[in-house]
Amino acid sequence: MNKKLLLLISVCLVLFAFSIQSEEKAKETNPFFSEFDTPFGVPPFDKIKEEHYLPAFREAMTQQNWKIEAIVNNPEQPTFKNTIEALENSQTLLRTVGNVFDVLNGSMTNEKMQEIAKEVAPLRSKHRDDIRLNERLFRRVKAVYDQKDRLSLTGEQNMLLDKYYKDFVRGGANLSKEDKAELREINQELSVLTERFGENVLKEDNRFEMIIDKKADLAGLPQSVISAAAEAAKERGHDGKWVFTLHKPSMIPFLQYSGKRDLREKIFKAYISRGNHNDELDNKDILSRMVILRVKRASLLGYKSHADYVLENNMAKEPENVYDLLNQLWKPALKRAKMEAKELQEMIYKEGHDFKLQPWDWWYYTEKLKKAKYAFDEETLRPYFKLENVIDGSFYVANKLYGIQFIEKTDIPKYHEDVKVFEVKEADGSHIGIFYTDYFPRASKRGGAWMNSFRKQSRRGGKEIHPVITNNGNFSKPTGDKPALLSSEEVLTLFHEFGHALHGLLSDCTYYRISGTSVPRDFVELPSQIMENWAFEPEVLKVYAKHYKTSEVIPQELIDKLKEARHFNQGFATVEYLAASFLDMDWHTLTEAKELDVEKFETESLSRIALIPEIIVRYKSPYFRHIFSGGYSSGYYSYIWAEVLDADAFEVFKDTCLFDQKTAQSFRKNILERGGTEDPMILYKRFRGAEPKVEPLLKKRGLK
C-alpha cells in the first residue's frame, strides 16, 4: 500500500478515536447529563455554557426516541402506566434542557444563544411531529383511551390521557391516508401564508414615514416627542427634520398631542390601511385563503368550524359561549362609548370648531379632557413605589392570603447580578419552591414582563419535585442617587406576574404536562389578574406604598384620583377591543370554504354590532396579526374572558374581607393548586359556587 495513504489512514483513525474520546469527555462535563448538584437542584448557572445546549438537546431527543421505541415494542397490553405515564416520563431531560434554554434565551440572550435557538427550533418541531405521527404509538394510546371507562383512573390521570389522545387526534392521527396527506398540505400552506401575512404587516409598518419639515407642524407636541421624532429623522437620513412612523410609540403620542388635524388624519389613515393597498404587501387574498384552509381543516378533523376546533381546548368550549359573553359586554360598553363621543364632540364645539368628531380626533380630545378632569400627574406617584417596597407588598399579600413566606437567599446560584432569589416556604416552614426575580432591563433581555419556570412542580415515583419559578420585568431602574421608583402601571404588572408565579409555586399536581400554569389560554390569566386587585387597596398600600425619602404612606387622595382615572375612556377601550373579538369570531365560525370579499365581510360584521363611526375596530383584518399570524385565531376574546373571571372572583374577597381565610384557602385549593388537572369551569364553580357573571367587570371598568 502507498505509504502516504497508510499514513493518512492512521491519522484519520487517531483523529476518529480522539473525537470519540472528546465526545465522551464533553458528556462528562456537560452539566445537563447529571443531576444538578446545587441547593434545591436549581440549574448550575456557573457551569452551564452555550456549547452544552446543542449536545444536550440532541441527547435528550435521542433518549426520548429510545424510550418511545420501548413503549411501542412493549409486548404487554397497553396500560395507562406502560403507555401514557411512560410517554409522560420519556421527556424529562428534554424538558430540563428546554426550560433552562428558553428562560435564559429570554432574559440573558446573545448572538450565540440566538444561533442555537434558530438551529434547535426545526429540530424540536420535527421531533414533536415524529412523535405525533408515530402510528404504532398512537395505536397504543388509542387502545388505552378506548377502555378508559373501565380503568378506574383518577381524575388527573383521565385528564392526562385525554390530553395525549387529543394531541394525536387533533393532529390527524385518526384520518385515512389520503386525508392525512391533505391535512399535511393544508398545514404546509397555512404555515407559509401565516409567515407572509406577518412579514407584510412588518413591511407596511416600516414603509410609511411622515416627514415634517416645518416647525409649525409640530404644534402641541411635548419636547420629548419632538426629540424622538428628530432622532428618527436623523436615523432615516432626514437630518434637521422630524419623522413619525406607524410604530405605536411614535404614532400614539402624535395622535394624543398634535394640534394639526390634517396630519393626525394622514398618519391615522396610513395606520388603518396597512395590508390593504392592492399591491405586493396586500393581505386580503392571503387572509381570505387562510380562512378557507382553516374551514377545510376543521371539517376534515370533524369540527363544524375553526372556532369549534380551537375552543374545544379552552374554557369557553363553544363559539356560542364566546358570543354570549361578547354580547353581554357590548351593550353597556357601546353605551358608554357613545357618551364619551358626545363629551368629546362638546369639547370640539367649545373650542369654536364645527367639525364632526372623527377617529383621528379621539386620542387628541381624550387627552385634553383627561387633563381637564383629573389634574394629576402620574409622576407624583412614583416616590411611593420603590421597587423593593412593592416586592415586599406583593409578598405581604401572599402571606396574608396563604400564610406562605419568602426568604431571600444569597447562597443559591443565579445567572445575573440583578437577579434576586427567594426560598418560598409554607407557614409551618416546609419547602414549597424557589422564586427568582429579575426586574431591570438590559440589552440581553427581551421587552415586557413575564413568568417562566426553570422547573415545574410534579411528582415522580412518590418523590416531590419542587418548582423553580421566575418573574421577569423591564421596570424603571435606579438613577443617580434615586432607587428604582415604579409607575403605577409597573406596580400592577409586578403584581400580575407575581400572580402567575403563585400559580406555578403553589401547584400540587402529579403530572408535569398538566401542572401549574399548563391551563387553557382563557383561564391562565385568572391567577395573575386577580392579584392586581390587591395592589391599590388602601389596606395594602398602607403596608408598602411609603415615600422612599420620608416613609410617609401614600395620601388617600392620590389613590382616589388614580382609581378614577382608570375608569376614564373605558367605553372606547372596551368597544375597540370587543369589535375585534367579534370580527375574529365571525371569520372563524364560517362553515363554508368559499372565497369572500374581505372588506365587505368586515363591514357587515361591524355593522351587525352597530359600531359607531368615531371608533375603528382595534385591528382591521389585513393587519390583525393576532389571528392571522399569531396564535390567537378564535382566541382574541380570551383577554376579557379572563377579566370577567378575575373581577367575579375578587368580588368574593370584597364581599367578605380582603384576606378572608376561607375564601383564600378555597382559591388556593380549587384554582392555584390544581393546574390543568380538571375542566376549568368545574374548578371555578367549585371555588365560586356559581358560573362567573359579567357585572363585577362592568363595575370595575366603570361601565355600569
Q: Which of 497, 532, 651, 673 is catalytic?
A: 497
- Distance from the first to the final alpha carbon of the chain: 95
Closer Cβ to Zn ion, 308 or 497, answer by number: 497
Alpha-carbon span 667 to 672, nearest angstrom = 7
Alpha helices (H) along 208-235: 223-235
Q: Please report how close the Cβ of residue 445 comes to Zn ion at its closest, in angstroms.
A: 17
Instruction: Give the x-and-dash track for 485-524 against Zn ion (CB under 5 A).
Output: ----------------------------------------
CA 223 to chain centre: 34
* Count of residues that interact with Zn ion, criterion CB under 5 A: 2
408 part of the active site = no
Cell representation of residue 123: 429540530
Helices (H) and strands (E) in the chain, counts: 27, 9
* Residue 619 to residue 599: CA distance in whole angstroms: 13
Of residues 517 through 556, those in contact with Zn ion by CB under 5 A are 525, 528
Whole-number minimum distance, CB 496 to Zn ion, in Å?
A: 6
CA 144 to CA 693: how far, in whole Å? 38
**CA 126 → CA 91, 235, 630, distances in Å?**
15, 41, 20
Is the Cβ of residue 64 or residue 471 nearer to Zn ion in the bound state?
471
**Shortest separation between residue 453's beta carbon and Zn ion, angstroms:** 14
**Residue least distant from Zn ion (Cβ):** 528
- Rounded CA-CA distance 167/132 in Å is 7
Q: What is the full DSSP assignment across 239-281?
A: TTSEEE-SSHHHHHHHHHH---HHHHHHHHHHHHTTT-SSSTT
For Zn ion, which is the closer residue by CB, 43 or 473? 473
Using CB under 5 A as the binding rule, whether residue 638 contacts Zn ion is answered as no
Nearest to 567 by CA among 332, 331, 248: 332
Rounded-to-10 torsion of CA 423, 428, 431, 433: -60
Nearer to Zn ion, 137 or 535 (CB): 535
Taking the least distance from each CB to Zn ion, the nearer of 449 and 553 is 449
Element (H, E) at 455: strand 450-455
The nearest distance, CB 291 to Zn ion, in angstroms, is 29
Query: Would you say 64 or 528 has its CB closer to Zn ion?
Result: 528
Residues 320 and 223 sit within 8 Å (Cβ to Cβ): no
Closest CA to 475 of 463, 459, 493: 493
Of 510 and 518, CB closest to Zn ion: 518
CB of 527 to Zn ion, least distance (A): 9
- Answer for the pair 228, 235: CB distance below 8 angstroms, yes or no: no
Least gap, CB of 631 to Zn ion (angstroms): 15
Gyration radius from the chain CA atoms = 28
Cβ count within 10 A of residue 225: 21
CB of 449 to Zn ion, least distance (A): 8
Q: How far is the CB of 352 from Zn ion (least distance, A)?
A: 45
**Which residue, 501 or 578, is less far from Zn ion as judged by CB?**
501
Residues engaged in binding Zn ion (CB under 5 A): 525, 528
Question: Any idea which residues carry the catalytic annotation?
Answer: 497
